[in-house]
């Protein structure tokens, strides 16, 4: 997902009827100010948001992998718990025979 506010604003300024309504001199005078606002404030913000979007996509991908592996991990844990219980049971039985 990429944001392109520059194109949106420039499309608005050049939209049919906009220059005639606002006045050519105002549009020409406003364009450098608008370009400065875009370059100094909005573009870094857009770049940062796009970077965060990519980071979120990466984290979502990692989370999806973890979620796919979760049932296998739960099965391994369950098997280990069963082994521990079996070993504890065997240990209890050994304790009874040694008395």
- Cβ–Cβ under 8 Å, residues 47 and 4: no
The 10s digit of each residue's pLDDT in 14-23 is 778 776 777 7
Instruction: Give the CA distances from residue 27 to residues 16, 21, 38, in Å, rounded to whole numbers and listed in that order.
Output: 13, 10, 15
pLDDT of 98 higher than 70: no
Instruction: Please answer whether residues 53 and 20 qualify as being in contact, where contact means their C-beta atoms are separated by less than 8 angstroms.
Output: no
Dump pLDDT digits (tens) for 73-92.
999 999 999 999 999 998 88
Asked if pLDDT for residue 55 goes beyond 80, the answer is yes
């Amino acid at each position: 997902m990429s944001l392109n506010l520059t194109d949106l604003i420039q499309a608005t300024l050049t939209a049919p009827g906009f220059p005639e309504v606002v006045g050519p001199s105002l549009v020409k005078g406003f364009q450098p100010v608008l370009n400065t606002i875009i370059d100094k404030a909005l573009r870094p913000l857009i770049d940062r948001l796009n970077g965060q979007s990519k980071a979120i996509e990466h984290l979502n991908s990692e989370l999806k992998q973890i979620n796919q592996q979760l049932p296998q991990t739960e099965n391994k844990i369950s098997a280990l718990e069963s082994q521990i219980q079996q070993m504890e049971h065997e240990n209890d039985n050994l304790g009874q025979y040694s008395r």
